[in-house]
Amino acid sequence: MLALGAEADVLGEFIFEGMLGDKIPVRLKFAVNGDEIAVGEILYLKAKSPAPILVVGKPTVGGWYHLQEYQADGTVTGIMSFRIEGEDTADDARITEGTWTNPRTGRQFPMRNFVTVGSIGDVTEYLAYDDPEDIGLEYAYSVWNQGYETMMGGSVKFRWAGKYRLHFEVSNSPGNIASGKSEPARPAVLGETTHDFFFYENVNECGYGFSAHFFKRFVVLRTTSGPGTLGCFGSGVAFDGVYIKLL
């Protein structure tokens, strides 16, 4: 069910049921906030012991969404790309086309017959940001790289540098490598009111900048500077990603 405006920071809520291919029924629940971060869960209804799996991603253009499944250790086990029609109406939102992909095997299933179902729980709970005292010390993710035929990914480490101040060290290598850390005398400073995000500029000599948004189970890093600031990294990479809280 879509409920625009349910909360000040919520752009939309969705609860779908449908099929991956012809034999895998699933329930997909997620919400999207004002920072265009989509968070929710997928449940495989016929699994031996059904348990919800965290999904995180974002809307793109033309009603398309990109979500990934994350296990507790940060491993990506599924990638979904799909288009929603009717997302501005309460009961008619549906996924009209899409694909679920196993990143390790490359096996794909079309997303079929995904329609809105009645409200089941509070979808907006997924959007809860972390309290500053609960921000983790280590976050990471990993995903199978078909080209290198191995698991690759990224990690973030934080340490406190005073109240609402954090030092960080990021290494992101889904293919090439992007790495950097805060300057010794210039830690990141959490937001003045909610203390669940920060922006950091001039990470390196290229002038790279990024943001960090802290949720209960993960942190989202996003580039905030222009393309010209990526010259210090390997081609096609930056800090961008969803990193799962480990410690």
> Is residue 1 included in any domain, yes or no?
no
- The confidence score (pLDDT) of residue 72 equals 96
- The confidence score (pLDDT) of residue 17 equals 96
pLDDT tens for each residue of 115-150: 999 765 567 778 889 999 999 999 999 999 998 999
> Is residue 4 included in any domain, yes or no?
no
Q: If you search the block for the tokens 């997620």, which residue do you land on? A: 30
Q: What is the CATH number of the domain that holds 69?
A: 2.40.128.120
Express as a percent the part of the chain with pLDDT over 70.
Answer: 94
Asked if the model's pLDDT at residue 89 lies above 70, the reply is no
pLDDT tens for each residue of 92-104: 789 999 999 999 9
Asked if the model's pLDDT at residue 86 lies above 90, the reply is no
- Tokens encoding 176: 């090439």
Among candidate residues 210, 148, 224, the one with its CA nearest the CA of residue 182: 210
Asked if the model's pLDDT at residue 1 lies above 70, the reply is no
Which residue range(s) make up the domain with 103? 10-127
Asked if the model's pLDDT at residue 43 lies above 70, the reply is yes
- The confidence score (pLDDT) of residue 115 equals 94
pLDDT tens for each residue of 209-226: 999 999 999 999 999 999
Q: Cβ neighbours of residue 128 under 8 Å, at least 6 residues apart?
A: 215, 216
Judge contact between 190 and 196, C-beta under 8 A.
yes
Q: Binning pLDDT at 50, 70 and 90, where does residue 2 land?
A: very low
Q: If you search the block for the tokens 């997924």, which residue do you land on? A: 126
Q: Decide: helix, strand or coil at residue 167.
A: strand
What is the pLDDT averaged over residues 58-74?
95
> Is residue 3 included in any domain, yes or no?
no
Q: Binning pLDDT at 50, 70 and 90, where does residue 48 land?
A: confident
Judge contact between 124 and 33, C-beta under 8 A.
no
Q: Decide: helix, strand or coil at residue 125.
A: helix
- The confidence score (pLDDT) of residue 246 equals 98
- The confidence score (pLDDT) of residue 5 equals 32
Q: pTM of the predicted model, to two decimals?
A: 0.92
- The confidence score (pLDDT) of residue 6 equals 34
Q: How far apart are CA 112 and CA 134, in angstroms?
A: 39
Burial code of 160-194, b = ≥16 C-beta within 10 A, e = fewer? ebeeeebbbebbbbbeeebbbebeeeebbbbeeee
Q: Give me the number of domains the chain comprises.
A: 2
Q: Identify whether residues 236 and 145 lie together within a single domain.
A: yes
Q: Binning pLDDT at 50, 70 and 90, where does residue 4 land?
A: very low
Q: Identify whether residues 120 and 145 lie together within a single domain.
A: no
- The confidence score (pLDDT) of residue 120 equals 55
Q: Identify whether residues 121 and 138 lie together within a single domain.
A: no
Q: Identify whether residues 15 and 56 lie together within a single domain.
A: yes
Q: What is the 3-state secondary structure (H, E, C) of 5-73?
A: CCCCCEEEEEEEEEEECCCEEEEEEEEEECCCCEEEEEEECCCCCCCCEEEEEEECCCCEEEEEEECCC
- The confidence score (pLDDT) of residue 11 equals 83
> Is residue 2 included in any domain, yes or no?
no
Judge contact between 7 and 98, C-beta under 8 A.
no
Q: Identify whether residues 45 and 143 lie together within a single domain.
A: no
Asked if the model's pLDDT at residue 90 lies above 70, the reply is no
- Tokens encoding 197: 């995000």
pLDDT tens for each residue of 158-184: 999 999 999 999 999 998 999 999 999
Judge contact between 124 and 13, C-beta under 8 A.
yes
